[in-house]
C-alpha cells in the first residue's frame, strides 16, 4: 500500500466582488444583518460578460495546482471533480476539464456531495493511489452559485451566503510512511435531505410539466435551507467527524496544527474552534471574503493557508465538512 500526499494546490475566484452593501440595494438586508448571522462581508459572483463557468474556473485553478506540483498535465492519471453546479445537466465537469486542458484520454469522475464534495473527492483519490491504481490525481472543487440564486428579499436567507470559485489539488503517490493523508472518514443521513436542497428540476417533474406550468413564482428551482436546523446538526457532525479522525490515528485535539473547516458559516467554525480549544492561529477561515463556495470552499481555504505559510512541513492538518444530504466527513493529513 502506498500513501498519498498533496503535491500541488491552486485556486481561482472571479474578479467581480459583491459586498453586503451591494446586496442591500437589491433585497431587504444590511451589512450588519449578514455579518451578524454568517460572518460574511463579501463574495465573488461570476460576471456574465466573462468566460467564467464552473468548468473554466476549475481549469484555471487546475493549471496552477499542476504547475506547483512540478508535474506536467500528461502526468495526471485521473480527474475527480466535485460540484453541485456543473455547466450542463450532463455530462459532468470532469470531462470538460479533460478536454479544456487537452489531456490524454484519462478517466474523469464527478462527485455530487455538495459542501462535503471535496472531502469525499479527496478520500476517493486517496484510495485510488493507496491501492496503486493511479499515481497522480487531479482533485477539483468548483461552483457557480450566482447564476441560480433568488436575488430578491424572498431568497435572501440563502443568497447572501453563497459565492463562486474553484480550487484544485494534485494528489500524488508517496512512499514515505506517516506522511500525506493518514485517514478519511465519511458519513451521511439522508432522512434530513429536504432540510437543505434544491428540488427542481427533477425527473419526477420533468420537461413537459415544467413547460406546461411555466410558473414564474415557483420557488422549487431555487435552493432551500432550514438554517437553524442545519446549524444545529452541523456543529454536532463537524465535531464527531473530527473526533473520529483523531481517534483513528491515536491523536488528540492538541495535536492539530491547522484546522480547515468547510466555510459554511463563520459562527459554525467559531463554535468548533471553541469546542476543541484551538487558538486563532490554528483555524483558517476565509468565508468573510468569499462566502460559502460549497465544494470549492475547503480547497480554496487550504490553498490560501498554504500560500500564507500557515501550513508547514509535518503539520497535522484536519479538513472537515458538513452539508446537504446530509453528508459530512473529515480528512487527517500529515503535511
**The length of the chain, given as a count of residues:** 335
Report the C-alpha gap between 20 and 273 in whole angstroms: 25
Taking residue 255's Cβ as centre, other Cβ atoms within 10 Å add up to: 12
Q: Which residues contact 58 (CB under 8 A, 6 or more apart)?
A: 81, 83, 93, 96, 97, 140, 142, 166, 168
Report the C-alpha gap between 88 and 296 in whole angstroms: 18
Q: Are 141 and 296 in contact (CB under 8 A)?
A: yes
Torsion of CA 272, 276, 278, 283, to 10 degrees: -40
Catalytic residue among 115, 136, 174, 185: 115
Check if 174 is active-site.
Answer: no
Element (H, E) at 330: strand 327-334
Check if 262 is active-site.
Answer: yes
Residue 300 main-chain phi, psi, to 5 deg = -65, -45
Check if 115 is active-site.
Answer: yes
Sign of the C-alpha dihedral, residues 21, 15, 48, 292?
negative
Q: Which residues contact 153 (CB under 8 A, 6 or more apart)?
A: 27, 28, 29
Q: Which residues contact 171 (CB under 8 A, 6 or more apart)?
A: 4, 5, 6, 7, 122, 125, 126, 129, 136, 137, 139, 181
Q: Are 315 and 22 in contact (CB under 8 A)?
A: no
The interaxial angle of helices 117-130 and 297-307, nearest 10 deg, is 70
Catalytic residue annotation: 115, 262, 292
Amino acid at each position: 500500500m502506498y500513501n498519498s500526499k498533496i503535491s500541488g494546490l491552486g485556486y481561482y475566484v472571479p474578479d467581480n466582488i459583491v459586498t453586503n452593501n451591494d446586496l442591500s440595494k437589491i433585497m431587504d438586508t444590511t451589512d450588519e444583518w449578514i455579518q451578524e448571522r454568517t460572518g460574511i462581508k463579501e463574495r465573488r459572483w461570476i460576471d456574465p460578460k466573462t468566460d467564467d463557468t464552473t468548468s473554466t474556473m476549475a481549469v484555471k485553478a487546475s493549471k496552477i495546482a499542476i504547475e506547483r506540483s512540478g508535474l506536467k498535465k500528461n502526468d495526471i492519471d485521473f480527474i475527480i471533480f466535485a460540484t453541485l453546479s456543473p455547466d450542463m445537466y450532463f455530462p459532468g465537469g470532469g470531462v470538460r476539464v479533460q478536454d479544456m486542458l487537452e489531456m490524454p484520454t484519462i478517466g474523469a469522475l464527478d462527485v455530487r456531495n455538495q459542501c462535503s464534495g471535496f472531502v469525499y473527492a479527496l478520500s476517493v483519490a486517496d484510495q485510488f493511489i493507496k491501492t496503486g491504481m493511479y499515481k497522480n490525481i487531479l482533485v477539483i472543487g468548483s461552483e457557480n452559485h450566482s447564476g441560480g440564486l433568488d436575488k430578491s428579499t424572498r431568497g435572501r436567507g440563502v443568497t447572501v451566503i453563497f459565492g463562486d470559485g474553484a480550487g484544485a489539488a494534485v494528489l500524488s503517490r508517496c512512499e514515505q510512511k506517516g506522511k500525506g493523508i493518514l485517514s478519511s472518514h465519511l458519513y451521511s443521513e439522508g432522512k434530513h435531505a429536504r432540510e437543505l436542497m434544491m428540488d427542481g428540476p427533477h425527473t419526477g417533474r420533468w420537461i413537459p410539466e415544467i413547460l406546461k406550468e411555466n410558473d414564474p413564482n415557483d420557488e422549487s428551482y431555487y435552493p432551500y435551507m432550514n438554517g437553524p436546523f442545519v446549524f444545529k446538526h452541523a456543529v454536532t457532525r463537524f465535531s464527531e467527524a473530527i473526533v473520529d479522525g483523531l481517534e483513528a490515528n491515536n491523536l488528540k485535539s492538541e495535536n492539530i496544527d491547522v484546522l480547515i473547516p468547510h466555510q459554511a458559516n463563520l459562527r459554525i467554525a467559531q463554535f468548533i474552534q471553541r469546542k476543541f480549544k484551538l487558538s486563532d492561529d490554528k483555524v483558517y477561515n476565509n468565508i468573510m471574503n468569499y462566502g460559502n463556495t460549497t465544494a470549492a470552499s475547503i480547497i480554496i481555504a487550504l490553498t490560501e493557508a498554504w500560500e500564507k505559510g500557515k501550513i508547514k512541513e509535518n503539520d497535522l492538518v484536519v479538513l472537515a465538512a458538513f452539508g446537504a444530504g446530509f453528508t459530512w466527513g473529515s480528512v487527517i493529513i500529515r503535511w
